[in-house]
Amino acid sequence: MGKSLDHTVVFATGRREGEIEGVDKRLFRSEIETVPETHAFVQGTESAVKIGQDAYRIAAQLKEQNFVPDIIYGHSGWGPTLFMKDAFPHAKLLAYFEWYYRADSPLYNFDASSPLKAGGIKHSRVRNVPILTDLYSCDAGFSPTGWQRDQFPGEYRDKIKVLHDGVDTNFFRPWPYGRRPLILPRLGLNLSGAKEIVTYIARGMEPIRGFPQFMKTVEILQKRRPDCHFVICGDDRVAYGDPHPEGKTYKEAALEELDLDQSRLHFTGLLPYDEYVQVLQASSAHVYLTWPFVLSWSTIEAMSCGCPLIASDTEPVREVITDGENGYLVDFFDTEAIAAKIAEVLDDPDKNKKIRQAARKTVLEKYDLAYTLPEHLAWLESFF
């Protein structure tokens, strides 16, 4: 829309890096310190309110410049959208609703070894304050998956459209010559001669994304498949959930506790997109494990690359994968079963050709940016 002469687009953001052609970028503060005396349950709300106040400052400046938007569009929960209806009461407020912290969510009871304590349940209710404010004040919103939309209170779901962000299938595509040789010179990584590469991708290394289960699976498979390499992309941190109870990272715990051949275990950290897509195109089998939570973008991107996907049989995954048709579903906690399914995929790559093709077909039909972007723009245009 920024390139269109029919629209004027102002982008208020906390990110200093990056510019978008045709878009007027305005900066608000994204690094907000909470007051130490603030109750732990409402520190997130305090931060959101402060960010919202700074975003309102930008709105006030725009009003002084006689700029009044028809549509305001933002990510709910972090604060920038909180006071936009106060600044521009006649503008349509549209919000991206990613997750609602239901106290009765299956997320909190998924792992019986670490059930949510009473304090956590109370915290989950309170942390919805900015989101509930936006749910009430917005004109409409959207969530990327039906599972995520269904976590929101029933009385507000009619306001929320299911519309995925979309994947650039021209970029995330299968390597045209079979499996791509994996060579990342920046990291000194050359697996061009590897017969088997199992991949795992997540923002952080944490229980919610099944990192401990995956590492146990690595231990099992390394003893059975001497030619198998494992590539793990992500930061050595917790992006979602609680830190390790002993103060270490989950990666450190795995390397200490498990019998692993680290010469066949490759941690890449977070990767730029040109390297990230090479990992997916080189994958012999891709593993995605998650609790009942937000579906990772990497799942759709891996399917778009035609990866044979072994994924947890959990609610967000079942929305996109049908077992035996466009991927394989496994018990999140059963590392032997996960290892067995990976081995089955590795043993007969030709057998899984239809699975890979069906995975790609699913993305082309439901999640292709060429389809989702026009739908998204049409939805926005309907509010003018």
Predicted confidence (pLDDT) per residue in 159-202, tens digit? 999 999 999 999 999 999 989 999 999 999 999 999 999 999 99
9-166+369-381 belongs to which CATH class?
alpha beta
Segment 72-99 shows an average pLDDT of 97
Mean pLDDT lowest for which of 3-17, 153-167, 249-263?
Answer: 3-17
Segment 285-303 shows an average pLDDT of 97
| 118, pLDDT greater than 60 | no
Give the rounded percent of residues in the chain with a pLDDT score beyond 70. Answer: 98
Mean pLDDT lowest for which of 32-46, 114-128, 238-252, 301-315?
Answer: 114-128
| 115, pLDDT greater than 70 | no
| 344, pLDDT greater than 70 | yes
- The CATH architecture annotation of domain 183-366 reads 3-Layer(aba) Sandwich (3.40)
Per-residue confidence at 119, pLDDT binned at 50, 70, 90?
A: low
Give the pLDDT score at 254. 98
| 2, pLDDT greater than 90 | no
Instruction: Collect all residues with Cβ–Cβ distance below 8 Å to 129 and sequence separation of at least 6.
Output: 42, 45, 48
**What is the overall mean pLDDT for the chain?**
94
| 116, pLDDT greater than 60 | no
| 213, pLDDT greater than 60 | yes
Segment 78-94 shows an average pLDDT of 97
Dmax over CA atoms of the chain, in Å, equals 69
What is the per-residue pLDDT across 298-309, written as a single tens digit (0 to 9) for each? Answer: 999 999 999 999
**Residue given tokens 């004040």 in the structure block:** 137
Give the pLDDT score at 31. 74
| 1, pLDDT greater than 80 | no
Give the pLDDT score at 107. 83
**Domains 9-166+369-381 and 183-366 are alike in CATH topology:** yes
| 338, pLDDT greater than 80 | yes
| 343, pLDDT greater than 60 | yes
**Residue given tokens 């994968």 in the structure block:** 321
Q: Where are the domains of the chain?
A: 9-166+369-381, 183-366
Per-residue confidence at 325, pLDDT binned at 50, 70, 90?
A: very high
